[in-house]
Amino acid sequence: MVDSATNVRIRDVSVITVYMDLQPIPFNKGFYSVDMTFFFDVALDLFGGPTSCPVPINGVAVFNKKVILYGSEGNVKLFTSGCSLDDLQAEDARILPKATVQVAEPVALSARLCEYPACGCEPYCRIPESICQRYGGEFETCQPKNVVYATIGLFIIVQIVRNVQMLIPAYDFCVPEKECVASSDNPCELFRRIEFPTSEFFPPKATDLGEGNHPCR
């Protein structure tokens, strides 16, 4: 269908998946190269002539990107239980960081038809079988006459994350049992907190007197 089309228009694009590969850089400790392969589902309208109706089709677009990020280095090796001697080797015990990528909704900018050798848009890698099943099976291996060159706007954030251990000091504490009374430098406020001395204005009763202070009979 693409070989017989005279014009093409891009309608929509979405991200299918992103494959990532993380490898340490030999001569720069703590730096890692992250190779990303993006697979897009592109919705197109093909036109066979000036008066023909558009024919909607969907295809796969592939894009590769490589970045170098700093992810520090671990000086220890991690060994876990549940593995036999043949399952875990010393090289596999290195604590490597993990690469993550956040992808915003892509923007479909433009699309055009071009000849396959002159366009330079040959596939960067083999399309996985799981993606081929979305389109009914394997793609044709014969060399096409025309291909669609799609321009896609993409906003991404690439990160390297690593599990770290944090040492937090702990201190003993006690719960106060008395209510804390806020002090103030204002003498008037301090005076208002003093209870009125009622007992100072009335003489004590006979029952209030202790032993040895009984009145004479």
pLDDT of residue 37: 93
pLDDT of residue 197: 77
Q: What is the pTM for the complete model shown?
A: 0.65
Domain membership of residue 1 (yes or no) is: no
Domain membership of residue 64 (yes or no) is: yes
Q: What is the per-residue DSSP string for 136-193?
A: TSPPP-SPPSEEEEEEEE--EEEEEE----------------SPPPPP-S-HHHHHHT
Domain count along the chain: 1
pLDDT of residue 130: 86
pLDDT of residue 192: 79
Domain membership of residue 187 (yes or no) is: no
Domain membership of residue 58 (yes or no) is: yes
Domain membership of residue 41 (yes or no) is: yes
Where the chain has pLDDT below 50, the residues are 118, 217
Contact assessment for residue 133 and residue 17, using Cβ atoms and an 8 Å cutoff: no
Domain membership of residue 39 (yes or no) is: yes
Domain membership of residue 32 (yes or no) is: yes
Q: How many residues does the chain have?
A: 217
Q: Which domain holds residue 152?
A: 7-161
Domain membership of residue 212 (yes or no) is: no
